Structure 1
Amino acid sequence: MEDKFNLEFFFHLDRVDHVTDPAPPLRRDAERNRQLLLRTAYELMATEGLDVSYEDIARAAGTGMGTMYRRFPDRQDLLNALFNDHIDTVIGFAEQAAQRDDAWAGLIWFLEQQLEIEARSRGVGELLRSRSQATAAVQRAHDRMTPLVAELIARAVRAGQLPAGATPADFAAVHVMVGSVMDASRGFAPQLWRRALTIALAGLRHADLSGDPPDETVIDHLYKEKK
């Protein structure tokens, strides 16, 4: 299996990023430069993490610093663009998982696919579990993802494959826990996260979830920008 993630799948080349106020479309050459810089940033951050400099990105892309700053005036603009692409990809996974006949198999597949991206890209993992992501971007992701994940969980509950008290917040906790194992073991046991995911899901599937379920705001607190 190739170690490099399929960027054609990760980046939706014809899509317009999710922004509050739609901007006019870029000229063809400007959009081409923008996509080139996004691809290059993703490739570098996959191996080196989020601290890759603008200078390194521009040099690897073969563009000038002026082009880099015109397309992404602030570093957070670049991270938001990468984060939006990631969320679009994960939403695609959730939609595919919902089409599977076996609800539990679909839910496991969904979690594995999104964690596979994070395993292949150090930058995506840091983006999700570091201080670098903007709270507004995380909130938009929460608003889009929670209903899809809730339906995947509800299907598994209806099929008797999960306890009735399971919630999206429980799966957000599983994602954070497994992601933490992934981050800690990336350099010496890069597949350890798979075992951690199996353990976490087995525990959740057979857990006694009596008591009040966690409020949905728990998800925001798990992923929001840390102070």
Structure 2
Amino acid sequence: MASDTPRAGTRPLRSDAARNRELILRTARGLFAAHGTGVGLNDIARAAGIGVGTVYRRFPDKEAILDALVAAKLAAFVGLLHEAAEVADPREALRGYLWAILELRVRDRALHDVLARVESHSEEVEHHSAQLRRGAEALVTRAREAGVVRADFTSADFPVLMEMIGTVTDHTPAEDGAWRRWAALLVDAVSPPG
């Protein structure tokens, strides 16, 4: 999650300002997940039940809100990798991680747009990006050494698979669950069930 720790020479946010900042981020996260990143600051303010001026006091523009959400999204992926690393069976670890990230993309329509912003060079984003790269590579290496993954699969394929499922999700009614069938086909193609 994006840090609220003040930089050297700045004062910490008052408690009400910190609450408003968190409310804005939580509301924006929900709206972006449901409707994509086309949502504007007025929409965020209205949904949060605050004035748009309050939003502007915390974030100068929508880009600043998106930047604040990038680190939180990356941290969520790192958390899923930590959970996968705890699974004893390399096949189940990889398959479990694949299902988790595909489901995350299905629930969050803005995930691709937000993660495309990872070119941000904040310390926090760089830290989480490095953890994500190392963890994903370790997961694939472990599966490869156990012989439970396609030989040509790499950690760079994770975001591609997410985009494939995202495309299905974005073009089919959510309630029909079509994404689950496609996800099963992808997961089984990458790492067949034992």
Gapped runs of 5+ residues in structure 2? none
The yes-or-no answer on 1:136 pairing with 2:120 is yes
1:39/1:196 Cα in 2 relative to 1: closer, same or farther (>3 Å)? same
The answer to whether the 8 Å contact 2:99/2:187 transfers is no
Gapped runs of 5+ residues in structure 1? 1-11, 207-227
Q: Choose the corresponding residue for 2:186, options 200, 204, 208.
A: 200
The answer to whether the 8 Å contact 2:37/2:113 transfers is yes
Once superposed, what is the RMSD of the aligned Cα atoms?
2.9
The yes-or-no answer on 1:30 pairing with 2:17 is yes
- SS in structure 2 of the partner of residue 122 of structure 1: coil
Residues of 2 paired with 1:35 and 1:66: CA distance?
Answer: 15
Q: TM-score when scaled to structure 1?
A: 0.70
The yes-or-no answer on 1:39 pairing with 2:36 is no
1:24/1:161 Cα in 2 relative to 1: closer, same or farther (>3 Å)? farther
1:34/1:118 Cα in 2 relative to 1: closer, same or farther (>3 Å)? same
**Which portions of structure 1, spanning 4 or more consecutive aligned residues, are displaced by more than 4 angstroms?**
21-24
Task: Map residues 89-128 of structure 1 onto 2, 5 A cutoff.
Answer: 89-128=76-115
Residues of 2 paired with 1:205 and 1:110: CA distance?
Answer: 11
Q: TM-score when scaled to structure 2?
A: 0.81
- 1:83 match: 70
The answer to whether the 8 Å contact 2:84/2:94 transfers is yes
The answer to whether the 8 Å contact 1:182/1:190 transfers is no
Residues of 1 paired with 2:98 and 2:12: CA distance?
Answer: 34
Residues of 1 paired with 2:107 and 2:181: CA distance?
Answer: 16
The answer to whether the 8 Å contact 2:148/2:191 transfers is yes
| Number of matched pairs | 188
User: 1:65 is aligned with what amino acid?
Assistant: V
| Same amino acid, percent of matched pairs | 35
1:128/1:182 Cα in 2 relative to 1: closer, same or farther (>3 Å)? farther
1:80, distance to aligned residue in structure 2 (A): 1.5
The answer to whether the 8 Å contact 1:94/1:149 transfers is yes
